[in-house]
Structure 1
Amino acid sequence: GWMNDPEVAAFWELAGPPEVTEAHVRAQTDGDGRSVPCLGLLDGRPMSYWEIYRADHDVLTPYYPARPYDVGIHLLLGGGTDRGRGLGTELLRAVTSLILAHRPCATRVLAEPDVRNVRSVAAFLRAGYRKDRELELPGKRAALMIRDRAPTPPA
């Protein structure tokens, strides 16, 4: 149902019957592991959908200066009551920290929200990402958002 919410449908382009979203998720679960779909729960209630993927092996690579082990992230806050409360920012901080903690080879995490999705871009900025540039991708103009791994302090 989230994909049919007009705020979501405008950016995810998965509106329609459940089979549309099912096919999108199945392609990841049956794939080679380069993209992992995740469901976020808050107090046991589904409230977000995530895709964590190897950006350096994605269709995105021709459009930006990819580095080995770049990790990409897509986020969708499902219900409208979960939007506009700062949850996206907190979730992005937490999930990005988990990615970097569990992927020691990754030097950064990136995202490419549609530039028209000003709430998403703002959440990434508040979560410590920087806007590197805008990209002309198939179907959208995207803000390339990057969160670099914090440098390791000298011993």
Structure 2
Amino acid sequence: MTSASLYPPRWRDLNADETDTRLTLTLAGQTLLDLQLERGASLHLSLHDAAVQPTLQALWAACYWLLASDPQRQQLTWHLRLPPNEALCSGLLHSTDIEGLYICQRSLFWQRAQPWLGDEPLPVYPQQHVISAGKRHPLRGPKPQGEVYRRFDVRLGVWISLRTLDIDVDLERFSRWQNTPRVMDFWEEGGSLEQHRQFLEKLAADPHTLTLIGCFDDQPFAYFEAYWAKEDRIAPFYEVDDYDRGIHMLVGEQAHRGPHKVASWLSALTHYLFLADPRTRRVVAEPRADNDKMIGYMQAQGYHCEKAFDFPHKRAALMMQSRERFFDRCALT
């Protein structure tokens, strides 16, 4: 028997006792779900007490536990009399041709916005095209404020979260990061506190760019920019879609460098952008073409190099990740 804990976003500790044939989940000391397991090509799940009507929370917790604990597991087969309607409407489960048989697919599970984006994610902003700076693009909704994403990374055993940058809180940290020789070599944005304040204020006023701080266990370690590619300087260099997002990335804290950390924060950042608007089909980036290390890190996370091209200020590699590829056999834990 194995006994362990996971920490779903905004929940108390979720505990499990799992054997080859049984899984019992408890939340705050109370039994949440008791399941019989039948292992094979697909993992089959049935309620130990068939008379119990499982809640949406209980079904989600079991799916989360079993998918997060085994990144290679692609689906779960549930045997239920009738699941909660919300489980079907939200895509947590989908019905089959066999009565009482329901499937949870990994690729659908990780596309659900809750709870990664909070208990009440922002609604999808309605579409209306406008023209600004000579570019036709969808009108963008107000930028979010505060924490926008949180997930427990099972591999690292830490929380990975994203929050919006607060200039008053983050200016000194941002300036220190930008003046690090390693960062200056690629960003070329070294300068004074006042210069960096002006830099961030300009981005705050730009509706096409969202500035984010990445945290491990709530400790800031990185700065990210997420931008709408249609309004960006990258747009002329590929067949850009209305809701493509682009990213700029800066890891400021030396202790959080390395491929295992990149795997955590890059997957989280990409996950957030695909969840923030389900119309987003691709996430792109344009690192310097000679930044072999970052290009390699991105390729390890499913990005591919579409081509090399010339910006006025640098030779860049167009890195691209599609929604379909990200969620197909999704390796999130």
Q: TM-score, normalised by structure 1?
A: 0.90
Letter matched to residue 74 of structure 1: H
2:307 is matched with which residue: 133, 145, 148?
A: 133
State the match for 1:149 in structure 2: 323
Distance of 2:320 and 2:276 partners within structure 1? 18
Of the two structures, which has the highest relative contact order with CA contacts closer than 8 Å and spacing of 6 or more?
A: 1
State the match for 2:225 in structure 1: 51
CA contact (8 A) 1:34 1:57 kept: yes
CA contact (8 A) 1:93 1:128 kept: no
State the match for 1:76 in structure 2: 250
State the match for 2:290 in structure 1: 116
CA contact (8 A) 1:90 1:127 kept: no
Q: Which runs of 5+ in 1 are unaligned?
A: none
Which has the larger helix fraction? Answer: 1
Instruction: Give the secondary structure class of the aligned counterpart of 2:271.
Output: helix
Is 1:106–2:280 an aligned residue pair? yes
1:58-91, Cα deviation, whole Å (9 max, x unpaired): 0111222222211001111112221124212221
Structure 1 window deviating more from structure 2 (73-82 vs 61-70): it is 61-70
State the match for 2:215 in structure 1: 41
RMSD between aligned alpha carbons? 1.7
Q: TM-score, normalised by structure 2?
A: 0.44
CA contact (8 A) 2:281 2:322 kept: yes
Distance of 1:4 and 1:71 partners within structure 2? 27
CA contact (8 A) 1:63 1:137 kept: no
1:86 is matched with which residue: 255, 260, 264?
A: 260
Letter matched to residue 146 of structure 1: M
CA contact (8 A) 2:259 2:297 kept: no
Letter matched to residue 13 of structure 1: E
Letter matched to residue 109 of structure 1: V
Q: Aligned-pair distance for 1:18? A: 1.9
Structure 1 window deviating more from structure 2 (72-81 vs 57-66): it is 57-66
Distance of 1:85 and 1:129 partners within structure 2? 14
Number of residue pairs aligned between Structure 1 and Structure 2? 152
1:92-120, Cα deviation, whole Å (9 max, x unpaired): 11111121122111110000011222221
Q: How does 1:1-80 map to 2 (within 5 A)?
A: 1-31=176-206, 33-80=207-254
Q: Aligned-pair distance for 1:131? A: 0.6
1:25-63, Cα deviation, whole Å (9 max, x unpaired): 1111122x2100011112222100000000111011122
Moved over 4 A (4+): none
Return the index of the structure with the highest Cα Rg.
2
Instruction: Give the secondary structure class of the aligned counterpart of 1:89.
Output: helix
Sequence identity percentage: 32
Distance of 2:197 and 2:297 partners within structure 1? 27
Distance of 2:317 and 2:302 partners within structure 1? 15
Letter matched to residue 11 of structure 1: F
CA contact (8 A) 1:47 1:77 kept: yes
Structure 1 window deviating more from structure 2 (17-26 vs 101-110): it is 17-26
Instruction: Give the secondary structure class of the aligned counterpart of 2:324.
Output: coil
Distance of 1:61 and 1:7 partners within structure 2? 28
Distance of 1:25 and 1:64 partners within structure 2? 27
Distance of 1:94 and 1:101 partners within structure 2? 10
Distance of 1:89 and 1:98 partners within structure 2? 14
Instruction: Give the secondary structure class of the aligned counterpart of 1:86.
Output: helix
Letter matched to residue 51 of structure 1: E
